[in-house]
Amino acid sequence: MLFNSLDFAVFLPIVFVLYWFVFKKSIRSQNFLIVIASYFFYGWWDWRFLALIAFSTLVDFIVGKQLDKAEDRHLRKSLLVLSILVNIGLLGFFKYYNFFLDNFITAFTFMGMPIKANSLNIILPVGISFYTFQTMSYSIDVYRRKLRATKDLVAFSAFVSFFPQLVAGPIERASNLLPQFFERRKFDYLQAKDGLRQVLWGLFKKLVIADNCAEFANTIFNNSTEYGGSTLVLGAVFFTFQIYGDFSGYSDIAIGTSRLFGFNLMQNFAFPYFSRDIAEFWRRWHISLSTWFRDYLYIPLGGSKGSKVQQIRNIFIIFLVSGFWHGANWTFIVWGALNAIYFIPLLLFGTNRKNLETVAMDKRRPSLREFSSILGTFALTVFSWIFFRAESMSHAMSYISGIFTAQLFQVPDFSVFPGALTILILIFGFLVVEWKGRFGQYAISRMQAMPSKARRWSIYFLIILIIDIFGNTSEEIEFIYFNF
């Protein structure tokens, strides 16, 4: 079920009413409802893969219990390895099987030893990269004795399958989300109101920004050989806003929906396109995944400790793995490597933790220096997204070589893209709102502080109107991260 569908608009109020009125008597019954609703939500897309979630849940639940009990180091390690193998195994089969097979065939053919093997027609279960990482984090935290294993299968199932964040995150840490399933939930008026506001903003990002940008980005990327340099740049910029609107929009809807049920999920995006360097960008983009890799991969590898060579190696590892996490394609790996390359100078000069504060603190506008840093970082990001969006490495390379032509300095022909100017105006407006709201959890979170209710509500109506008029509501476009 998609957040931007009528099905969800019917589903959500029903679950909300059941949750707060019918199942309110005990935490356990509320958790039970969450499991049922979440399985229904997921099954709406494809019920066959529910077994996969159930299997992953059961494995980690049992492993967690055994890990909690076991004192023997070897046994504990074996149990952890079992959990990781099962989760990575599932992910590997569904997501990477054909990729490895194709590359093995290519490599053996290249070495003069052609092999024959048939690739499988495998459907990628939606959200598999997200819930497997979430359950793995549970097993690792229990292994590290950071968290006690739960004995409540219903609560654990609810934690794994919690519908707002099941298919595209945020990838919650068990230590943050799981305890919330054991706390008595009291309806919080302000929290619920804030949740609805965040859902509204998420819908705006998805339907107005992302889905409209998608139309132009797809046209330009799919026919890249037909366009000149400046149009190709425009296509990359459209994709840059598409992916941000799409993914951060999803996260906003997920976080907002969770708040309606009394849950607090972690912030997943913190205005990444206002970052002054790439290190700051990665502290602000897909935070739940970045911190996952930091906690469970980067730090165990040694993190920023050790020699510069080791540090560079660690940076490359997490960016390459992060790229590979996104998809079984060399383009994602190169995208990861490119970001690592961007990061290395900051690491070498020791400036990777220079910009920890939000840009232009207590100021309305950035300084010229800040502005140019933001612009520079944005340009690097736009460039790297070309690899992310391209169908293949050859497509990415031809796209980039198409940019660096004489036509790069010509104004794109907007008459070929009716409506593109309107979208650019909307993007500008969107950036202004994001800039003004950059100190909050999401751009319009500080509207609560507005004293005039009439003014607040007028803004909500205006957003709804813009979504209705400019939003791409005629078709339900899937979120990009459903594919990861």
DSSP state letters, 108-146: HHHTT-----PPP-----TTHHHHHHHHHHHHHHHHTTS
Amino acid letter, 129: S
Question: How far is the C-alpha of 96 from the C-alpha of 453, rounded, in Å?
Answer: 51
Residue 151, both tokens: 């004995």
Residue from 47, 93, 187, 439 in contact with other proteins (CB under 8 A): 187
| Piece of the chain touching other proteins by CB under 8 A; list 46-54, 185-193, 303-311, 332-340 | 185-193
| Piece of the chain touching other proteins by CB under 8 A; list 115-123, 192-200, 239-247, 345-353 | 192-200
195-214: contacts with other proteins (CB under 8 A): 196
Annotated active-site residue in 74, 286, 326, 395: 326
The dihedral formed by the CA atoms of 307, 308, 312 and 315, expressed in degrees to the nearest 10: 70
Q: How many angstroms separate the Cα of 155 from the Cα of each of 149, 180, 233, 237?
A: 11, 9, 48, 43
For other proteins, the closer of residues 202 and 471 by Cβ is 471
For other proteins, the closer of residues 196 and 312 by Cβ is 196
For other proteins, the closer of residues 256 and 336 by Cβ is 256
Question: How far is the C-alpha of 248 from the C-alpha of 192, rounded, in Å?
Answer: 19
Min dist CB 377 to other proteins, Å, is: 29
Amino acid letter, 307: S
Q: Is 428 in the site for other proteins (CB under 8 A)?
A: no
For other proteins, the closer of residues 327 and 471 by Cβ is 471
Min dist CB 261 to other proteins, Å, is: 12
For other proteins, the closer of residues 65 and 185 by Cβ is 185
Residue from 115, 117, 122, 425 in contact with other proteins (CB under 8 A): 425
Work out the burial of residue 392: count CB atoms within 10 Å of its CB; fewer than 13 is exposed, 13-18 middle, 19 or more buried: exposed
Assess contact for 433 and 443: CB atoms under 8 A: yes
Q: How close are the terminal C-alpha atoms of the chain, in Å?
A: 16
For other proteins, the closer of residues 275 and 472 by Cβ is 472
Min dist CB 415 to other proteins, Å, is: 9
Question: How far is the C-alpha of 262 from the C-alpha of 180, rounded, in Å?
Answer: 9
Min dist CB 151 to other proteins, Å, is: 31
Nearest to 135 by CA among 15, 328, 296, 326: 296
Min dist CB 187 to other proteins, Å, is: 4
Question: How far is the C-alpha of 93 from the C-alpha of 86, rounded, in Å?
Answer: 10
Question: How far is the C-alpha of 210 from the C-alpha of 329, rounded, in Å?
Answer: 23
For other proteins, the closer of residues 307 and 474 by Cβ is 474
| Site track for other proteins across 361-400, x = CB under 8 A | ----------------------------------------
112-171: contacts with other proteins (CB under 8 A): none
Amino acid letter, 279: A
Min dist CB 479 to other proteins, Å, is: 20
- Rounded to the nearest angstrom, the gap between the alpha carbon of residue 471 and the centroid of all alpha carbons in its chain is 21
Min dist CB 58 to other proteins, Å, is: 34
| Piece of the chain touching other proteins by CB under 8 A; list 143-151, 226-234, 351-359, 417-425 | 417-425
Q: How many angstroms separate the Cα of 335 from the Cα of each of 5, 234, 325, 340, 390?
A: 31, 19, 11, 9, 10
Residue from 146, 193, 305, 313 in contact with other proteins (CB under 8 A): 193
* Helices and strands (H and E) in the chain: how many: 20, 0
Residue from 192, 266, 344, 447 in contact with other proteins (CB under 8 A): 192
For other proteins, the closer of residues 84 and 192 by Cβ is 192
Would you say the C-alpha torsion 17, 23, 28, 34 has a positive or negative sign? Answer: negative
| Site track for other proteins across 439-478, x = CB under 8 A | ------------------x--xx--xx--xxxx-xx----
Min dist CB 25 to other proteins, Å, is: 15
Count other C-beta atoms under 10 Å from residue 339's C-beta: 25
For other proteins, the closer of residues 20 and 99 by Cβ is 20
6-65: contacts with other proteins (CB under 8 A): 20
| Piece of the chain touching other proteins by CB under 8 A; list 190-198, 289-297, 340-348, 351-359 | 190-198
Min dist CB 263 to other proteins, Å, is: 16
Nearest to 431 by CA among 190, 93, 205, 246: 205
Residue from 189, 349, 409, 428 in contact with other proteins (CB under 8 A): 189
Count the residues of the shown chain that bind other proteins, applying the rule CB under 8 A.
Answer: 23
Would you say the C-alpha torsion 423, 429, 435, 437 has a positive or negative sign? Answer: negative
Q: Is 432 in the site for other proteins (CB under 8 A)?
A: no
Assess contact for 82 and 167: CB atoms under 8 A: no
Q: Is 422 in the site for other proteins (CB under 8 A)?
A: yes
286 is catalytic: no
Assess contact for 331 and 388: CB atoms under 8 A: yes
> Catalytic residues, which ones?
326
Residues that bind other proteins (CB under 8 A): 20, 187-189, 192-193, 196, 418-419, 421-422, 425, 457, 460-461, 464-465, 468-471, 473-474
